[in-house]
Structure 1
Amino acid sequence: MSNNHAVIIGAGAAGLMCAISAAESGVDVLVIDHANKAGKKILISGGGRCNFTNMYTEPSNYLSQNPHFCKSALKRYTQWDFIAEVDRVGLPWHEKKLGQLFSDNKSQAILDMLLNRCDELGVTIRLNCTMETVSQQENGFILNTNQGVIECHALVVASGAMSFPTMGATDFGHKLAKKFGLNITETRPGLVPFTLDARDLAPLKNLSGVAIDAMVSCRDMSFRENILFTHKGLSGPAILQISSYWKPGQSVTVCMLPDIDLAQFFKDAQQNQPNKQLNTVLRQHFPERLIEAFCQDFDLSKPLQQYKHKDLTSIAERFQNWQFIPSGTEGYKKAEVTLGGVDTDEVSSKTFEAKSVKGLYFIGEVLDVTGHLGGFNFQWAWASGHCCGKAIADSMTA
């Protein structure tokens, strides 16, 4: 049997950050994970480049039933704090766009930075460690695992959620929370591609692989980035962003070429270049395959002067007010995050300790806090992990 001040379940971004934060204050920390390698999700993030934070991180970049919950941690451990750590070890990085910061040396460099710091501080990481039972005792918790019994004063759940099940992601953290009487808000895949039914997909069948800049809207939210047509429906950054706000049955509106009023552009071109073919004008702005798919029932070969204004307006609407109702999403298998989770009303925003269970903490994705695409979820992992680690250290010395 091993006895530790703190045990952290999950060797991902939040768990490793929590271990570092607690160990820096002298806490004896053990991190356990059922996977055979630490930080698997870190390694695949950002296409292997690790979009490790965002310069424009604000509470408004997060979804939660309690939008105020994330404010404290994000204020106490900012994006600039994590950037300072990256700079401290000499890792080069760059901004790709929209404040998204990426490692020049791929994701492995960020993971190595965390693991090396854990090693320096004496943090023990035990992999291939499967949880069997967890029970509470007078001074903490008893964990029965496939590698023996572990006792601890503080137990941190940083096990993530259900996105990327092929990498071993499960709802373990939510089940554990329920075991201790905590509420779980509705969960669903977030930052996930849309699927379309066969009828809506048919006219788009030749567009797989086509990407274009667009403004995508659903309800009162809009995001502008690329959309990507797939053989199942739609993906790309703007689609992933809006998917977190979409609910089944709701329509999504796409405005391609959002910087131009296309209907007015057509009218001006009709007046200034009346003999120019409509197809030629469209090809200046849209890929050929996209034009064919969205204008199948129009003859585009005529000069602009031969079209009625209502026809040009109709064509403009097809590109700039395209509305569709997704048949669903590609699910947790392709989702970057899980929306919902441990109800934040059950957890202290200062310490991340469950209000009703002394010594039990929840951090990272397992909580009902989900960031936008672009490094925001990593920043939540760093912030919640750091603040939780400090809180555990404070509780040990209180």
Structure 2
Amino acid sequence: MRSESELPLDDVPFTIPVADRVKRLPPYLFGKINKVKYEKRVAGIDVIDLGMGNPTDPPDRRVSDKLSEALGDWRNHRYSVSNGLGNLRKEVAKRYFKKYGVSLEPDSEILACIGSKEGFSHMCLALLGPGDTAVVPAPTFPIHAYAVMLAGGNVIQLDVTDPNEFLRNVAYTCEHLFPKPKVVVVNFPHNPSGTTIELDFYVELVKLAKRYNFLVMSDFAYADICYDGYKAPSFLEAPGAIDVGCEFTTMSKGYSMAGWRIGFCAGNSQMVRALGTIKGYYDYGIFQAVQIAAIIAMRHCDDAVDEVVKEYEQRRDIFCDGLARLGWEIERPKAGMFVWAKIPEPWNKMGSIPFSMKLLEEANVAVSPGRGFGEEGEGYLRLAIVENSQRLRQAVKQIGKCLKDEPLAVSD
């Protein structure tokens, strides 16, 4: 047998040496679920998709109409400024002051992003590198960990379901780790667990940041979706917060503009400038017509956001009531677009991934297994309330029918 070096050149296998940063990423745990979901839909099977927080509702007509109008102006089809239109950043500043009493400088403390996920990821690239460490909440929304990994940093995951314990663990980590964490990521209302906090949490976090010299990145994606009179505080409301951190918001949820890909970074001017530097190399900003429509949304569509929240609250109640009737242990979320549901006995012995596959294959309901959000998520499902009320009722019916008989293999 000839050695590889003796083979004709055309017969030598060609390999693609991907970067180490790609090799560091763990296997995608939702891959099999997405594959089965796709195959079912190709086969014409109706799958009720509660797996992804992808709003199914359209944005307000006033926003769509403004987009159509802006499309007719040829000037809007050129490259835009990478940090966002000045008037758009001014609207973000007005909204922060109106909702949270926070004064921001539009030119230096606000930057428009291609969705909050992009801004968060590129901020990690701007702040972190090999040898740096970031603390992220657990269960962990994947990008909070993966963006750190892709930047070359190390991740420490701390349970966030008890916010006060999270703060104590942050302090303990800073006391005992060398070098200390450079960044602490917070995400309230939390995805996936729905955990919420009050402003005093951020007040204490700012004190810790100044004591231990770490930066704070707040993912505030679910700022607008709050129920039962709860109002999610902004990190930037805490005294001194702008000295140590920044916050990411998005128009995807409250304004139902998920596919438009428009979000914002606000806060510490040096952090905002660092993000702007990275983005200056990577992109040419958001399509200008989208930015103009977003200005109209923030100026005139607060009533539409209120209606969206009422709709989600109704869906939450219908869905949680339905699962409770099936015997599930349900804690109604005070905010966000997800129900973080404990897998009921005896099915919890299966593990969240096999159980999610069972619901998809037998009930035609797609959900996100808790294991996809780290070890702390095992035993739970994340269920997105993005479908309309009728579809959610049908999902409960199909889940109940699927689980009506307890399998011997699980109960043994």
Give the TM-score range, shorter chain.
under 0.3
Q: If the length of structure 1 is used for normalisation, what is the TM-score?
A: 0.27
Higher helix share: 2
Higher strand share: 1
Q: If the length of structure 2 is used for normalisation, what is the TM-score?
A: 0.26
Q: Which of structures 1 and 2 has the bigger CA Rg?
A: 1
Taking CA–CA contacts closer than 8 Å with sequence separation of 6 or more, which of the two structures ends up with the larger relative contact order?
1
